Structure 1
Amino acid sequence: MFSDKNEFKESFLKRIEMSLGKAFPDSTKRDQFHILGNMIREHISTNWIQTNEHYRLNQKKQVYYLSIEFLLGRLLGQNLLNLGIYDIVQEGLHDLGISLHDLEEVESDAGLGNGGLGRLAACFMDSLASLDLPGHGYGIRYKHGLFEQRIVDGFQVELPEQWLRHGHVWEVRKPDLTVEVPFWGRVETIKGKDGKLIFEHRDAEYVSAVPYDLPVVGYQNTTVNTLRLWSAEPSRYQPNRDMMRYKRDTEAISEFLYPDDTHDEGKILRLKQQYFLVSASVKTILRQFSSRQSNIEDLPEHVAIHINDTHPVLAIPELMRILLDEYGLDWDKAWRVTTKTFCYTNHTTLSEALEKWSVRIFQPLLPRIYGIVHEINERYCQQLWEKYPGEWDRIKHMAIISYDEVKMAHLAIAGSYSVNGVAKLHTDILKTREMNMFYNFSPEKFNNKTNGITHRRWLLKSNPELTQLLVHTIGDSFIKDPEQLMELERYSNDSVLQEDMKKVKQIKKEQLAARILDQNGLSVDTESIFDVQVKRLHAYKRQLLNVLHIMYLYNRIKEDSSFTMHPQTFIFGAKASPGYYYAKKIIKLIHSVANKVNHDPKTKDLIKVVFLENYRVSLAEEIIPAANVSEQISTASKEASGTGNMKFMMNGALTIGTLDGANVEMAERVGQENMFIFGLRSEQVLDYYSYGGYVASEYYHHDERIRQVVNQLVNGFFSDNDEPFDLIYDSLLTENDYYFVLRDFSAYVDAHEKINATYKHPKEWLRKSILNIAHSGYFSSDRTIAEYAKDIWGIEQYSLIRK
């Protein structure tokens, strides 16, 4: 693109004058960002077109990844890095008196996701392109994202994300590829000339799905895949009824991620979103397939459609509808094609996250789709009956429709040829407990694919200082093959490397401290232990356990003059779902504790508590490289995998965690002695759930530390302005502490004491840190995607001419 910085500067200055009609000194940072972004996107376009044409002409199998979330973060720096021109652009801008970092700050994080599900999808897109694999994503272009979090008096306040206020420089709107999606109406059945039944969807309300395409740039190759995002707009085919209501209802489909579904209106909107995504996507996939192939029964040989969790499961009956109603296949042929095309990733063992839809909502909104799901259920139950005659309880449990609910996970399993978990422990729990009946019925479908992260963003981009140190130490082979980080293991006792590692960590801590001072007005000690828990706020992730431990430390410092500890800064970042009142209460508790701890003259030099509002990808890129300690403390058996744990590991933080999700595999690789493992094991938790025996009040009565901090939730310990935390108190005692916070409290305190003792021996701490980085390469999404490609999708690498 640019051979050197001078060529870049000349082109950049010329574009500013031609595009803006103003001299360079008069341009703003936003002007400069948009000019640079447009230059990069235009350059990408050549390879983007060539990649798509190459796929079309070669007619090899492609994968389409359907996800309700794609948590992309900012793309300017990542695209420059993947194109191999980051340094050229940075140096050229510097000569012009512009900071590339400042231009990156202009870009908003794309409001397309919430947590690990969406970030995993983004990492997968990056790995597919970087490995020269033919894979594309389909999602929704949410106008206002999830929400922008603000903290007012310690309470979370939700505002619309305005990430599209100034446009999105990377997207290309393609209105000529608009797809019409029907809702409501009725289905009429008529007989055709050959006596075959024909189903016609009449009086439907149509919504236009308008595609916006984003290029997904591979790392220093010529592959550019596509992420297509659908925007809901009024259809020109819609009859002129109540147009204002229709316009409002239509635009709501792509306005917010995860609308509140505590009422029917929200449930209907969520279901609309899901069908909108899959209907537009499946129609487009088949349109592309038909332009290359003539026999629809060959679809599975050329297309794999991957369902990322249960949100896109309606793609299964949608493909059936098209095969039956538009291609005229009989049921058996259509079902054979469908079940050889779809594969499904399960991301949870939480029953509330396995979606179910009331028939009374589903049937009127999607009448033809409901009819197909009903028929799938009838035939599936017949198969079950043939294998388990007379076992009505088993069949009711496994049915896709039962007790007037449509069970999306059951539909996903029935309609897919592959069902995978995202960590060994998670997959084992699915097979032996949560989905044991389905596993026994079709064991060949179940497999494991442990999650991964893209080191290109979470190491190369977010921590260039560490990247340079690693290159200096072991060479640059790990950049293309992250498992080469294992070469670092033999340097774990190298005193020079340890000292350099310490310096790099200190740089990142000082950078984060500057962010905290700017954003929160709080000065933190960069020599303190930076202890970080950043993730979605949910009871099972146990931010509460972390906070209760901080309260314990506060009490200990105040009451025990002999108590000493290394100064510790506890950093939180999390969004709570708008309708999740309990999670919002925990955010308030964090702020109440922070207010108490940070202003107490006796404790403020030993412990500080920081909550960074509006946690997002770009903020994570600043927080994670600065962390000394990574909090991965979910109730064992509840976290399917986790990917934050991998990001911290790759940046040299040491994990305090339960043996849950991918923590188990991390411990197997790096050794439990190089982590701080505590608490119940998954089998113990599951036994408690199955057989009982846990009494939270016993821990409350027999441990003075627990009794003190739990009482402080309601006894006026916090300021008069703070309402008591009765809801949290009751969850621990009256409701018997469902996530075993009190059961694991003592072990958690002990683990933190080990952290404090180890940190006092820098060589030992740094040795463990280096070993964690060395073993983190396995947890690259490149490894994960290579396994998906080989074991599930059956797709092959095929690249254009390399640079």
Structure 2
Amino acid sequence: MDFCSIVGDSSALRHRPGARRTHNYNITFKTGFSGGPPVQDSEQISLSSSALDSKDSLVFRKAILAKLTYGVGTNPAHATDHDWFVATSLAVRDRVMDRWMASRAMDQAVRKQVCYLSLEFLIGRLLPDTLNNLRLTEVAREALAGLDVDLDRLRAIEPDAALGNGGLGRLAACFMESMASLEVPAYGYGIRYEHGLFRQVITDGRQHEVPEDWLARSNPWEFERPDLIYPVGFGGHIEEVRASGGATISVWKAAETIQAVAYDTHIVGWRGRHVNALRLWSARATEPLRLDVFNSGDHIGALAERARVEAISRVLYPGDASEAGQELRLRQEFFFTSASLQDLLARHMRLHGDIRTLPDLAAIQLNDTHPAIAVAELMRLLVDEHHLAWEDAWAITTGTLNYTNHTLMPEALERWPVALIERLLPRHLQIIYRINWHHLEPLARRSADVEFVKAVSMIDEDHGRHVRMGHLAFVGAHKVNGVSGLHTDLMRQTVFRDLHALYPNRIVNKTNGITFRRWLHQANPGLARLLVGELGDGVLDDAGALIGLERFSDDPAFQEHFRNQRAAAKANLVQTVAEHTGVPIDPGALFDVQIKRIHEYKRQLLNILEAVALYDAIRAEPERDWVPRVKIFAGKAAAGYDRAKLIIKLINDVAQVVNSDPVMADRLKIVFLPNYNVSLAEAIIPSADLSEQISTAGMEASGTGNMKLALNGALTIGTLDGANVEIRECVGAENIFIFGLTAEEIAAHRRHGGHRDQPHMSPRLERALNLIRTGTFSPEEPNRFDSLIHAVSSDDPFMVAADFESYWAAQRQVDELWRSPFAWWRASVLNTARVGWFSADRTIREYASDIWKVRVQ
């Protein structure tokens, strides 16, 4: 593939690396502070993004003290660490707002804007991220040190924003940062979840879900926008009204109206060049309580309607196993989509005055099918509110909307019961039917095959009538993109095969990327300093400059430096593991890491079964020279996903036996770190030696954890799935461990009867399963894991048995390479050197050029 051939020639950002960019601020303080230095009435300072001096720190210290008094309401003598965190964040936020005002003024000068609609934005902690991108980390550290406050302690106080779950949300966060870094005018739109997904607590090896309380002590980064409140309707009926011109128009009379209130968090680009807004919506009842009911004595009942309404923005991914859960999920999706589109259209009309110019001045990206109802809602707004003809509205809709697909599993492409949409969104169902009629009518005229027509219809008539949201998004979009080369090819061949036949130029590929500012500069400052020392400051601005590291891969002195920074990161993780689990681990062992959402297709089960087999082998031959290994797992299972939660229990049960077995010593340890989030990932990723990317081939759309780990020098063990294919192309087949059936082989395997045509199960796997079956890891309940064993032993839907021996062999190849330190660290250095192509900046440049038609600075 030719994409890797350009990695060394990747375009830098607009400003040359190392160039000074000076920003002036007028900061006025009204009084001095006891115990602090005297403060002048007005002081003008200059902050350079590449050079800092003591004057910067002094002025920033004064700003923090001012915020402590006037923003927090306390003084240094009484301030807690949380008070200092808030004061520091507010002082940083002031600098962000200066840049936001300048960015907004520039963006409004007839520049096309991007609106990124996503149900998740996993932004993590903003204090270190914002300081890093403003190049103020050392200024802040020095300023706080003068107040006897430790910056690293404050960073740990900030809770992770509970706005996402996994790769989808982290991707959205990376894209927001890259759009700001590349000066692409953009708004991110989502929901301001009060509790997010959940906080994962592991008790007796089992996952328990408790509410996440990230907003309990307020959020210093956000601005409530009480002037930006939009009505969002549900239910009701349609009235056909005759307009003045004689035409009949449909008027939606909603039975219920909810207020969407905007909260803005500002996302800073690299070196503070540009700032974009992440606009999150909170649901609010139009009436805070029923006063008549309250006065009658029913104090709880008076608040019942408010509680029902505000449930929309309480929790990410409420369980949808029940009808009530399904309804809440659909209400969430429509709520944020409608509010976001209303906001976009209002801003467009205020700035430009002509709704027909929307495709020229705005591009909307739908991140997965969650906001797919945007197709119908944008049509409703254009036809019903702006009174455009259907054909004109459709041209605007399809010229503005774009859709990113993230899954090849048909069951993961949302389908909503027609009856539910009819009850909640009657006008939208009417619009969907009409879109579908226009979509299918040409096929009927051509006497197309009935089965083909059924396959491309937005309405699935089998097993109850459902609206296919993926089909709706596909037909209503200008472009539909996959997120890796393999994924995009499989989209054309599988889930959207028939739609691709109708619209052959609509599907394009945009392989995911990650922001190196977060996942290298910030998460691994030791490695970042090493890279700058060898490659110069340019590596901070241009991910392509990493290719220069190739020439050091055979240098023993550089390898030692590279190994030492990994050792320091591993020492930090040893402490984190001890704090979270109490398990002591050897920092000299091979750290084997699988950190991702717990799901059967991601195959944590395959990983732990290999661990059981390894445990069995070590017990059988303890005298052998085994490579010391620590298997590290982290990830959440969906609250209603019982099989995934059982896998967590198996991992923990196996860990308890293995870790307490004196025969193992430090040969094998197993750790499950609870409540996986961005901050925990930032601790794990720099310390990883081996990156587990072992999903069933053809099921992982892309992955981004694979990119983060490879960037930090971990070697990948994985299937040819998602972006693993492109990672292999970039790092070289000799620097990655590939195993297992390919997507094509799995498809053939399933076509020909699957498990029945395979050789007998591996004896090694049989022994591992038998250890589990006989209660070695659950003596009090031997049959605890029977359902997992049955799935592997019978139809094996995720190819665990089919791939086990290949996986075992690849792991032993890992052992052999680890025994040759020079070869291992050479491969590790080359992984870091050759993954510059996976920068989110490259991905966003491609979106901007090929899909959004937006100019990148």
Give the aligned partner of residue 789 of structure 2.
729
Counterparts in 2 of 1:312-391, with a 5 A limit? 312-387=371-446, 389-391=447-449
Q: Which whole-Å deviations, capped at 9, do the CAs of 1:600-633 have from their partners, x for residues lacking one?
A: 0001321000000000000000000000000000
SS of corresponding position for 1:478: helix
Counterpart residue identity of residue 101, structure 2: I
Give the aligned partner of residue 61 of structure 1.
112
Aligned mate of 1:106, from 157, 165, 173 = 157
Q: Which whole-Å deviations, capped at 9, do the CAs of 1:148-206 have from their partners, x for residues lacking one?
A: 00001000000010000001110000111100100011111121122212222225201
Correspondence 1:128 to 2:188: no
SS of corresponding position for 2:246: coil
Q: Is the 8 A contact 1:134 1:797 kept in 2?
A: no
Aligned mate of 2:341, from 282, 291, 294 = 282
Deviation at 1:566, TM superposition (A): 1.1
Aligned mate of 1:394, from 437, 440, 452 = 452
Counterpart residue identity of residue 601, structure 1: P
Aligned mate of 1:595, from 652, 656, 664 = 656
Q: Is the 8 A contact 2:408 2:494 kept in 1?
A: no
Counterpart residue identity of residue 838, structure 2: F
Mark the CA change 1:238 to 1:513 in structure 2 (over 3 Å): closer, same or farther.
closer
Correspondence 1:184 to 2:242: no
Distance 1:164 1:341 in 2: 34
Correspondence 1:224 to 2:224: no
Counterpart residue identity of residue 689, structure 2: N
Correspondence 1:677 to 2:735: no
Counterpart residue identity of residue 28, structure 1: T
Distance 1:518 1:73 in 2: 20
Bigger mean CA deviation after superposition, 108-117 or 679-688: 679-688
Q: Is the 8 A contact 1:540 1:635 kept in 2?
A: yes
Give the aligned partner of residue 193 of structure 2.
142
Give the aligned partner of residue 801 of structure 1.
none
Q: Is the 8 A contact 1:696 1:742 kept in 2?
A: no
SS of corresponding position for 1:227: strand
Correspondence 1:432 to 2:493: yes
Give the aligned partner of residue 261 of structure 2.
210
Aligned mate of 1:474, from 524, 535, 543 = 535
Distance 1:698 1:98 in 2: 64
SS of corresponding position for 1:177: strand
Distance 1:18 1:124 in 2: 34
Correspondence 1:195 to 2:246: yes
Q: Is the 8 A contact 2:405 2:483 kept in 1?
A: yes
Bigger mean CA deviation after superposition, 190-199 or 106-115: 190-199
Correspondence 1:414 to 2:475: yes
Counterpart residue identity of residue 523, structure 1: P
Distance 1:617 1:438 in 2: 37
SS of corresponding position for 1:610: strand
Counterparts in 2 of 1:609-624, with a 5 A limit? 609-624=670-685
Q: Is the 8 A contact 2:618 2:626 kept in 1?
A: no
Correspondence 1:512 to 2:573: yes
Deviation at 1:688, TM superposition (A): 2.2
Mark the CA change 1:571 to 1:722 in structure 2 (over 3 Å): closer, same or farther.
farther
Q: Is the 8 A contact 1:699 1:742 kept in 2?
A: no
Distance 1:161 1:118 in 2: 16
Q: Which whole-Å deviations, capped at 9, do the CAs of 1:117-143 have from their partners, x for residues lacking one?
A: 000000000000001111110000000
Distance 1:456 1:229 in 2: 24
Instruction: For structure 2, list consecutive stretches of 5 or more residues without a partner in the other structure.
Output: 1-24, 26-46, 48-54, 294-300
Q: Is the 8 A contact 1:148 1:160 kept in 2?
A: yes
Give the aligned partner of residue 59 of structure 2.
7
Mark the CA change 1:674 to 1:203 in structure 2 (over 3 Å): closer, same or farther.
closer
Give the aligned partner of residue 452 of structure 1.
513
SS of corresponding position for 1:563: coil
Q: Is the 8 A contact 1:502 1:766 kept in 2?
A: yes
Give the aligned partner of residue 667 of structure 1.
728
Bigger mean CA deviation after superposition, 448-457 or 320-329: 320-329
Instruction: For structure 1, list consecutive stretches of 5 or more residues without a partner in the other structure.
Output: 799-803
Distance 2:505 2:641 in 1: 38
Distance 2:472 2:403 in 1: 10
Q: Which whole-Å deviations, capped at 9, do the CAs of 1:649-705 have from their partners, x for residues lacking one?
A: 0000000000100000000111111001111111111222334343388433xx221
Give the aligned partner of residue 257 of structure 1.
316
Distance 2:273 2:704 in 1: 28
Aligned mate of 1:45, from 84, 88, 97 = 97
SS of corresponding position for 1:87: helix
Distance 1:795 1:449 in 2: 16
SS of corresponding position for 2:189: strand
Deviation at 1:243, TM superposition (A): 5.3
Deviation at 1:237, TM superposition (A): 11
Q: Is the 8 A contact 2:627 2:819 kept in 1?
A: yes
Counterparts in 2 of 1:552-701, with a 5 A limit? 552-695=613-756, 698-700=759-761
Deviation at 1:294, TM superposition (A): 2.5
Bigger mean CA deviation after superposition, 691-700 or 495-504: 691-700
Correspondence 1:745 to 2:804: yes
Q: Is the 8 A contact 1:349 1:430 kept in 2?
A: yes
Bigger mean CA deviation after superposition, 254-263 or 322-331: 322-331
Q: Is the 8 A contact 1:69 1:121 kept in 2?
A: yes
Deviation at 1:722, TM superposition (A): 4.5
Deviation at 1:245, TM superposition (A): 3.4
Q: Is the 8 A contact 1:180 1:235 kept in 2?
A: no
Mark the CA change 1:21 to 1:300 in structure 2 (over 3 Å): closer, same or farther.
closer
Bigger mean CA deviation after superposition, 255-264 or 242-251: 242-251
Deviation at 1:536, TM superposition (A): 0.4
Correspondence 1:529 to 2:590: yes
Q: Is the 8 A contact 1:699 1:706 kept in 2?
A: no
Distance 1:61 1:16 in 2: 39
Deviation at 1:562, TM superposition (A): 4.5
Bigger mean CA deviation after superposition, 719-728 or 24-33: 719-728
Deviation at 1:351, TM superposition (A): 1.2
Aligned mate of 2:303, from 234, 244, 247 = 244
Mark the CA change 1:71 to 1:698 in structure 2 (over 3 Å): closer, same or farther.
same
Distance 1:73 1:340 in 2: 33
Deviation at 1:73, TM superposition (A): 0.3
Distance 1:115 1:695 in 2: 35
Mark the CA change 1:68 to 1:14 in structure 2 (over 3 Å): closer, same or farther.
closer
Q: Is the 8 A contact 2:577 2:584 kept in 1?
A: yes
Deviation at 1:347, TM superposition (A): 0.4
TM-score of the aligned structures, taking structure 2 as reference length? 0.91
TM-score of the aligned structures, taking structure 1 as reference length? 0.97
Number of aligned pairs?
Answer: 793
Correspondence 1:783 to 2:834: no
Bigger mean CA deviation after superposition, 174-183 or 11-20: 11-20
Correspondence 1:461 to 2:512: no
Q: Is the 8 A contact 2:289 2:302 kept in 1?
A: no
Counterpart residue identity of residue 449, structure 2: E
Mark the CA change 1:769 to 1:168 in structure 2 (over 3 Å): closer, same or farther.
same
Q: Is the 8 A contact 1:696 1:732 kept in 2?
A: no
Distance 1:19 1:451 in 2: 40
SS of corresponding position for 1:24: coil
Bigger mean CA deviation after superposition, 203-212 or 626-635: 203-212
Bigger mean CA deviation after superposition, 430-439 or 155-164: 430-439
Bigger mean CA deviation after superposition, 680-689 or 587-596: 680-689
Give the aligned partner of residue 41 of structure 2.
none
Bigger mean CA deviation after superposition, 117-126 or 38-47: 38-47
Distance 2:819 2:677 in 1: 32
Bigger mean CA deviation after superposition, 194-203 or 326-335: 194-203
Distance 2:749 2:351 in 1: 55
Q: Is the 8 A contact 1:205 1:238 kept in 2?
A: no
